[in-house]
Amino acid sequence: MKIGICASLWTYPFNMQSLDILKKIENFGFDAVEFSIEDRSEDNLAAIKESLKKTNLACILGSSFVEGNLLSSDANTIKAGVKYVKESVDVCEYLGSGILAGPVYGSYINTDFLVPAVKNKARQQAVELLKEIGAYALGKNIKIAAEPLNRYETNFLNTANEAVEFVSEINLPNVGLNLDTFHMHMEEKSIKKAILNAGEHLFHLHVPENDRGTPGTGDVDWDGIAESLKNINFSGAIIMESGSPYAGEISKIGAFWRSYDYPPDKMAEEGLKFLRKKFSG
């Protein structure tokens, strides 16, 4: 099982000014890095690709919508959403990332979703659009992992079960789930059972502590998670997606207002030590 970390512990979005972080992440001993790229210009992408090649890190592209949303009722916003996700698939292909992870449906809170007919319509629309985008990604051998988020970040997919139903309707071998221990700690009765139930649909796992701090310092049921991952023969990557107040836009989006356990470098070191111990072998 590959163990990685999100570059957003230090910086966000990822770009050609952030490249030193890659070597640092490799030197800590991680196998993989996850980041979101908003500047998709040729120069920026080429510089990132070049730097990645100088490491042995596997790379996972995170999806974070700047514009566009597959759940919108506005035609232009939907169009921008489809363009964003398809472009993300292209970026995956270019960088050699086999997976696009995150809230690929477009995360936001639409209180009109309390009316079941409104939510169902948006859901159906997202299913159809992700069938089309998923087929596009399948042609490039790239997986798409949709991430349920906690109730303060979306009211579309909050639980693993909702997400399993959603991707089952899309019904493509390369469209599955990205679960996250921080969100699950708020929304699931049992993280261990949620992972078991997700089974083969689970492609990718974010493993921050329950407060978004360093894995191993809080209440997350790490033994239960390790057991479930073994039971479902999980072959994806586990990614430390912890937060810090030093990463610009993502600190604001994620409400990372304070330092957690240690400064970011020490969080990475301690987190990796714990994850290796818990999840190796």
Tokens for 102? 């995150």
Asked whether position 180 contacts Mn ion by CB under 5 A, the answer is yes
User: For residues 7-26, which are near Mn ion according to CB under 5 A?
Assistant: none
Binding range to Mn ion, per CB under 5 A, among 37-45, 53-61, 198-206, 272-280: 198-206
- Return the DSSP state at 121: H
Q: Which two tokens stand for residue 37?
A: 């790229």
Question: Any contact of residue 188 with Mn ion (CB under 5 A)?
Answer: no
Stretch that binds Mn ion, among 66-74, 90-98, 199-207, 226-234 (CB under 5 A): 199-207
Minimum gap (Å) between residue 234 Cβ and Mn ion: 16
Using CB under 5 A as the binding rule, whether residue 212 contacts Mn ion is answered as no
Span of 19-27, 61-69, 117-125, 205-213 interacting with Mn ion by CB under 5 A: 205-213
Rounded to 5 degrees, φ, ψ at 97 are -90, 130
Which residues have CB under 8 Å from 54's CB, separation 6+? 22, 23
DSSP 204-258: EEE---TTSS-TTSSS--HHHHHHHHHHTT--SEEEE----TTSTHHHHHTT--S
Distance of closest approach, residue 180 Cβ to Mn ion, in angstroms = 4
Q: Which of 206, 228, 173, 211 is nearest to 275 (CA)?
A: 206
Minimum distance from CB of 157 to Mn ion (Å)?
12
Least distance (Å) between residue 102 CB and Mn ion: 7
Q: How far is the CB of 63 from Mn ion (least distance, A)?
A: 10
Q: Are 10 and 246 within 8 A, CB to CB?
A: yes
Binding to Mn ion (CB under 5 A): which residues in 217-246?
A: 241
Nearer to Mn ion, 12 or 78 (CB): 12
Q: What distances in angstroms separate CA 167 from CA 72, 131, 156, 239, one per listed residue?
A: 19, 9, 13, 21
* Beta carbon of residue 158, minimum distance to Mn ion (angstroms, whole number): 13
Q: Is 225:181 a contact under the CB 8 Å cutoff?
A: yes
Using the rule CB under 5 A, which residue among 206, 218, 237, 254 binds Mn ion? 206
71 versus 146: smaller Cβ distance to Mn ion: 146
| 153 lines the binding site for Mn ion (CB under 5 A) | no
Chain residues in the site for Mn ion (CB under 5 A): 180, 206, 241
